[in-house]
């Protein structure tokens, strides 16, 4: 995989300290009208301290390197690192996780719901840098056409104050923005999409139309994009982060694939 760098500036929101609520929030973010949380969600709430300067102006305050450890299985590596595997994330027949080429790969074999969590605040974070990519887009995925699947989406949650979801049946949530990679000719880059719920607190933004199996470097100014997305000057601190895949609304058996090499939160 040859890196192609595409730098963007984006921001995002947070969920709950109850993982079941988090899963249900993701279900309603997309506006799907199904029972429970029937979205195939692969999510990580990840914040590990990092050292070193990202550039002369900013320092890394939290980072996650997904290269793994030689001789340690991916599932053991996640669990020993404090990650919680829930729902279909524990079922390798539905969600296959692996580590190679310095990245964590997730392959969706069928429509599934999986959740992997690691919660920790990153209140000093003002920027986010990601090295990520897609190996297979979900067939038919397009927010423009109402098929809100994605091979990979990264959420950032802001603050702890929960805002109304718009429904008594849907849990309230802090501000959030979900960033994703999408196929060329589908969704408009940098356009904030809204779901059926969370009109005031949630947005979804495609950052890049990457070629398959290409590493994309994306850098986001969290404060600037929060202000643009919500027209609010005062930006709450980052209170959570997740990575997910959703293939439940698509076609061709709900298969997809993506990978993550590194995530860095910078001041």
The hierarchical CATH code for the domain 4-266 is 2.60.120
State how beta strands 114-117 and 84-87 pair: antiparallel
pLDDT at 62 over 70: yes
pLDDT at site 114: 73
DSSP 163: E
pLDDT at 20 over 70: no
* Average pLDDT of the residues of the chain: 80
Q: Is the pLDDT higher at 16 or at 242?
A: 242
pLDDT digits (tens, 9 = 90+) for 220-248: 999 999 999 999 999 999 988 887 888 88
pLDDT digits (tens, 9 = 90+) for 153-177: 888 889 989 999 999 988 899 999 9
The alpha carbon torsion through 79, 83, 85, 86 (nearest 10 deg) reads 150
pLDDT at site 56: 57
pLDDT at site 196: 80
Alpha-carbon distance of 128 to 225, in angstroms, equals: 11
pLDDT at 135 over 50: yes
**116: β partners:** 85
State how beta strands 127-136 and 60-65 pair: unpaired
pLDDT at site 248: 83
What is the pTM assigned to this prediction? 0.78
Start-to-end CA distance of the chain, whole Å, equals: 29
Most confident stretch, 47-51, 89-93, 218-222: 218-222
pLDDT at 184 over 90: yes
Mean pLDDT, residues 68-76: 92
**Cα dist from 142 to 23, 245, 248, 257, whole Å:** 21, 14, 13, 16
Grouping H, G, I as helix, E, B as strand and the rest as coil, residue 223 is helix
pLDDT at 88 over 80: no
Lowest mean pLDDT among 131-135, 167-171, 260-264: 167-171
pLDDT at site 6: 42
């Amino acid at each position: 995989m040859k890196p192609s760098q595409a730098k963007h500036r984006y921001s995002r929101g947070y969920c709950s300290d109850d993982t079941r609520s988090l899963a249900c929030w993701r279900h309603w973010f997309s506006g799907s009208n199904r029972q429970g949380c029937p979205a195939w969600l692969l999510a990580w709430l990840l914040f590990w301290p990092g050292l070193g300067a990202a550039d002369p102006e900013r320092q890394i305050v939290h980072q996650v390197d997904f290269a793994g450890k030689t001789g340690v299985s991916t599932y053991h590596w996640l669990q020993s690192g404090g990650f919680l595997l829930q729902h279909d994330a524990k079922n390798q027949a539905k969600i296959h996780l692996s580590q190679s080429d310095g990245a964590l790969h997730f392959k969706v074999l069928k429509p599934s719901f999986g959740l992997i969590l690691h919660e920790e605040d990153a209140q000093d974070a003002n920027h986010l840098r990601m090295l990520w990519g897609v190996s297979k887009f979900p067939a038919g995925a397009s927010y423009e056409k109402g098929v809100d699947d994605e091979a990979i989406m990264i959420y950032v949650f802001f603050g702890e104050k929960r805002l109304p979801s718009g429904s008594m049946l849907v849990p309230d949530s802090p501000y959030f923005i979900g960033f994703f990679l999408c196929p060329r000719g589908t969704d408009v880059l940098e356009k904030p999409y809204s779901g059926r719920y969370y009109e005031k607190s949630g947005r979804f933004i495609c950052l890049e139309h990457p070629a398959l199996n290409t590493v994309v470097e994306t850098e986001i100014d969290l404060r600037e994009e929060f202000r643009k997305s919500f027209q609010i000057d005062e930006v709450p601190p980052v209170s959570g982060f997740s990575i997910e895949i959703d293939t439940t609304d698509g076609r061709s058996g709900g298969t997809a694939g993506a990978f993550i090499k590194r995530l860095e939160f910078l001041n």
